[in-house]
Amino acid sequence: MDLATIGYVSCALVIFLLAIRVPISFAIGSVAVCAIFVVFAFRTGTFMPERAFWTTLSLAFSSSFDLVHSYDLSMIPLFIALGHIAYKAGITTEIYEAARVWLVRLPGGVAIASVAGCGGFSAISGSSIACASTMGRICTPEMLRLNYDPRLATASVAAGGTLGSLIPPSVLFIIYGIFTESSISQLFLAGILPGVISLLGYALVIVLWVRRSPDIAPVPDETFTREQKIRAAIGAWPAVLLFTVVVGGIYGGIFTATEAAALSLLFATTLGILRGRMGVRDIVPLLRETMTTTGAIFFIAACAKIFVALIALTGLSNNLVGMLGSADISPAFFLLMVCVIYLVLGMFLDPVGIMVLTLPLMIPMVESYGMNLIWFGVVIVKLLEIGLITPPVGLNVFVLASVLDERKVEIGQIFRGLVRFLAIDIVVLAILILVPAISLIIPMSM
């Protein structure tokens, strides 16, 4: 059997396994190992399994071993632990509290504050799902208490939670950088302006929605003095400092992204203990949660690396690039295809799974068109961000529903509220595609 044919059959089999709800790590890992075994067993023209067994094991283990021992991959547990500890120390909620104090009297002000709080959490944790889960416990009950419409109270947090994928640090940018051998520091910096634009877009949606239907966001009677507002703004200094350390240190060339993560984690832990908001005993369960999340991500990435070895072995990526060249597909149409593929996959799969499944095939085609990989990474992460709130399986929606009382807010209400946010996401995506300078201006000025 032709090697490229084995590659195509393997991809089709992975899609079938995913369709019947097999976890993506088992789907791509098992198919990749079996396909590699077949390739080596028939290498001499006759079926010789005894010669393929050890070669297959060696290739599989060496591929996953090299990935797991990657220096850049050490950022993932550091940033995940930072998110857990910063929340326990109260650092991630202080930006929301500051924004709520300043905006509470504005129509829809608490919803805008929730989006700002999600942006602040994202600038520390790097995880969209963690952001939606954490801020859902804090912001949504507060808005429901103030008689906000459940659609606005939930949709603003579900959409705001997606900012964790774009605003640095981002776990998705780390994985993208490793699989494409791109600079993770540049990817972090490239996500700043798109993240800010997305945040402002969500705030604009809230303003227009409330202006059209004022009854969905009643203005509360609660007021704060100027001294209280100033005190709340000053109280957010730890979160601002952490973001400055990560972004400023990377931009200024003072730290690598990994060093910035380690320093931020040390600072957050020390501050939480000194402020009396957490003790040494609290660190152990937080690290246990970090290990669970990290283990899941590493296992998916390791299986994906074996799949990458299969792609290289069968020459499937070169075959696809040749097909694109002979079909004479324009770059614009190719980007349209990418958007459609990622938006459809985003309805059913988690972002990490989509990325590790598609990048081995996608990146060679991107390079054949001479596209900038940093800019393309921002586009991909924005597409994955949209997938987090796209029905029928918007992960942020189900995470948010799981931390709320389902008797008060139904999943259908959340999705109905997200329609307006999805519309602004499509607009922002179009802007990022048409104006690559938005993503590249900061990293290119390093």
Contact 250, 148 (CB under 8 A): no
In 184-245, the DSSP E strands lie at none
Structural domains counted in the chain: 1
Examine residue 320 and state whether it is found in any structural domain, yes or no.
Answer: no
Helix locations, 3-148, DSSP H: 3-19, 24-41, 49-68, 75-88, 91-103, 109-125, 128-145
**Would 6 be classed as within a structural domain?**
no
Q: Is residue 121 part of a domain?
A: yes
Q: Closest Cα partner for 150 from 331, 429, 415?
A: 415
Residue with tokens 């995506």: 429
Hey, what are 425's tokens?
A: 């996401």
Q: Is 25 within a domain?
A: no
Which residue pairs, CB below 8 angstroms and at least 24 apart, start in 434-442?
436/372, 436/375, 438/193, 438/194, 438/197, 439/190, 439/191, 439/193, 439/194, 439/374, 439/375, 439/378, 439/379, 440/190, 440/372, 440/374, 440/375, 441/193, 442/189, 442/190, 442/192, 442/193, 442/251
Query: CA nearest 397: which of 157, 117, 158, 130?
Result: 158
In a domain, 12, yes or no: no
* Residue-number span of the structural domain to which 229 is assigned: 72-296+439-445
Q: What local confidence, expressed as pLDDT, does residue 430 receive?
A: 94
Element (H, E) at 227: helix 226-235
DSSP structure string for 312-345: HHHTHHHHHHHHHHHHT--HHHHHHHHHHHHHHH
pTM, two decimal places: 0.84
Q: What is the pLDDT of residue 55?
A: 82
**245 inside domain:** yes
Would residue 156 count as lying in a domain? Answer: yes
Q: Do the domain assignments include residue 15? A: no
Q: What is the mean pLDDT of each run of 10 residues along the chain (446 residues)?
A: 79 85 84 87 72 80 76 81 82 78 81 85 74 80 84 88 84 88 89 92 92 85 78 81 80 80 86 82 86 84 84 77 73 89 82 83 86 94 89 79 69 86 94 94 84
